Amino acid sequence: MPESVHLIRHGQSTFNLVYAETGEDPIHIDARLTPLGHEQVKLLRQVVRRNEYDLIVTSPLTRAIQTTLGLFGGLATPFLVEAGHREWLEASCDMGRPKSALIPEFPTFAFDHLPEVWWHDEGTRDANGICQEPFETFLGRVETFRDWLRRRPEDRICVVGHATFFKHLAGHLMKNCEMLPWRP
């Protein structure tokens, strides 16, 4: 089991910005970081670069990958793209993009272990074309990821991910670009 795990929520996304203002889903599939999100990442980078990690795990959602690159780009620490801690799919921003679309945009990351469609895509689509992930399925995924982390051989791991997932994993609703030390 790792000695320490740091959870980091991604920076502000375009979905976060619009949803905070309107309360409505703006249909931003796989939302990207806003300029403020990039600034948040830049500020947190000064803090996280003081830590040494044996592994950095990122969700394959674009806002998490952008956050990971902004925080840790250029380091020799291994990166792992892991879909197990993607966000609970209940809005457009939580739908991913196919692996084949991510590979050319993020060539420094390995996606070969992911299926082409790695997000929840089963069941009835809502009016926005989204197959919402059943809550029980999501909770099962949280527990599976917790067990996966506990079995990791690395001592110091950083996980870049999402608010609702981390709330159910660690019991804390994180703000954009917040870092939380946590023990699995």
Least confident of 58-62, 70-74, 126-130, 135-139: 126-130
Average pLDDT over residues 70-87: 96
| pTM of the complete model | 0.97
- pLDDT at residue 171 tops 90: yes
**In the chain, how long is the greatest CA-to-CA distance?**
46
> In this structure, are residues 184 and 146 in contact, taking their beta carbons and an 8 Å threshold?
yes
Mean pLDDT of the chain: 96
Mean of pLDDT values over 169-177: 98
Q: Is the pLDDT assigned to residue 184 strictly greater than 90?
A: no
Which domains, ranges and CATH numbers included, belong to the chain? 4-182 (3.40.50.1240)
Cβ contact 158:56 at 8 Å: yes
Alpha-carbon distance of 35 to 11, in angstroms, equals 9
Task: Please state the rounded mean pLDDT for residues 40-68.
Answer: 97
Q: How many residues does the chain have?
A: 184
Are 159 and 7 contacting, i.e. CB atoms less than 8 angstroms apart?
yes
User: What are the Cα distances from residue 56, in Å, to 24, 42, 61, 152, 165?
Assistant: 33, 17, 15, 12, 17
| Average pLDDT of the residues in 9-17 | 97
